[in-house]
Amino acid sequence: MAYAQLQQELEESKSEIRRLRGRMSLGTPTVHKDLSLISLIPKWSGSHSTNSLEEFISTLEASARIGRWEPKDTVEIVALKLEGSARVFYQGCTELHTRDASWNTFKEVFRKRYKDVHTDQHYYARLQMARQGRNENPQEFADRCRTLAQRITCQSDDPVAQRVHRENAERMLLASYVAGLIGVPGTQVRYASPVSIEEAIRIAVSVQEAERQEKFSNSFYARHDSRTHSDSGSRHAVGSRRSTTQRVDARRFRGVLTRQKPQALGTRRQRLPYAVTNAKG
């Protein structure tokens, strides 16, 4: 068994050497693979994963294009990125462990297994009735509408047909987003009649930021005015207290004089006869 495996590996090495020699003889440059992109691919665990299957597949295909991976490399890498129920399903699916198993076979089998139980009409209705939440900004609302639009976009291997499906989904996304915006940003976006979702988001975010800046300015000047009135009121109260204190002191001083004056007069009147008596004597 070990001898047969060594023979097989030897034959594969020889075929690889012949292929490299053929490239060198034809002057074809050697393509280097970039396997470091594997670390950027998140793991996928099936239905309970935060990312959908289509997002997982698109991430893999984008990494394969950038890293110049071969189809068999993509199949081996995707097996390393599965976990949970998705890995259990992969290990139990004999169709994916044959020598003829390709990347297209993997996509077909997994799309069939993890197909969404909701119908397309369900997501059509959710997209058409989408409304911006009270605590949801325009960008977050756009992301939620994009997720619904991706679920209703038909998948096709034909590039032309796929482009048509994507354009239809973009038109539905724009109409639902513009209709679902609330408040002044929604009114301004509907007045502007944007032709793309990016333009609609830019207008909504700009109007929201302008509103926020205006509220901040109004609150700032209101606090400044109230502080000014408070300071002037404090100064007026201090002045009033000072004047009241001065009036009270003046009254007290006059009262002291009033009480002391009769006493002084009485003393003089009492001393006057004594002085006259002494003079007569």
pLDDT of residue 208: 92
With a cut of 50, say whether residue 237 has pLDDT above it.
yes
pLDDT of residue 198: 94
Any idea where the domains of the chain sit in the sequence? 25-113, 120-214
With a cut of 80, say whether residue 236 has pLDDT above it.
no
Spatial neighbors of 156 by CB under 8 A, at least 6 apart, are 162, 165
Give the architecture (CATH level 2) of 120-214.
Orthogonal Bundle (1.10)
Contact 144, 130 (CB under 8 A): yes
Q: Please count the helices (runs of H) and the strands (runs of E) in the chain.
A: 10, 0
pLDDT of residue 153: 84
Spatial neighbors of 204 by CB under 8 A, at least 6 apart, are 138, 181, 185, 186, 188, 189
- For the chain, helix, strand, coil in percent to 5 are 80, 0, 20
pLDDT of residue 29: 53
pLDDT band of residue 34 (cuts 50, 70, 90) is confident
pLDDT of residue 19: 75
Give pLDDT tens digits for 91-121. Answer: 898 888 888 888 889 998 998 888 766 777 8
pLDDT band of residue 276 (cuts 50, 70, 90) is very low
With a cut of 60, say whether residue 161 has pLDDT above it.
yes
Cα separation, 45 vs 271, whole angstroms: 119
Cα separation, 168 vs 124, whole angstroms: 12
Give pLDDT tens digits for 35-88. Answer: 888 888 888 888 776 678 888 888 899 999 998 888 888 888 988 899 888 899
The residue ranking higher by pLDDT, 200 or 32, is: 200
Report how far Cα 239 is from the mean position of its chain's Cα atoms: 54
Mean pLDDT of the chain: 79
Decide: residue 138, CB within 10 A, 0-12 exposed, 13-18 middle, 19+ buried. buried
With a cut of 80, say whether residue 269 has pLDDT above it.
no
Q: How far is CA 279 from CA 219, 265, 266, 268, 276, in A?
A: 88, 21, 20, 16, 5
Name the least confident of 119-123, 130-134, 272-276: 272-276
With a cut of 80, say whether residue 133 has pLDDT above it.
yes
Across residues 252-270, what is the average pLDDT? 51
Across residues 261-268, what is the average pLDDT? 48
Structure tokens at 241: 């207290």
- CB neighbours (10 Å) of residue 142? 22
Across residues 166-171, what is the average pLDDT? 91
Give pLDDT tens digits for 185-195. Answer: 999 999 999 99
Percent of the chain past pLDDT 70, that is, above it, reads: 72
Give pLDDT tens digits for 195-234. Answer: 999 999 999 999 999 988 888 887 767 776 666 666 555 5
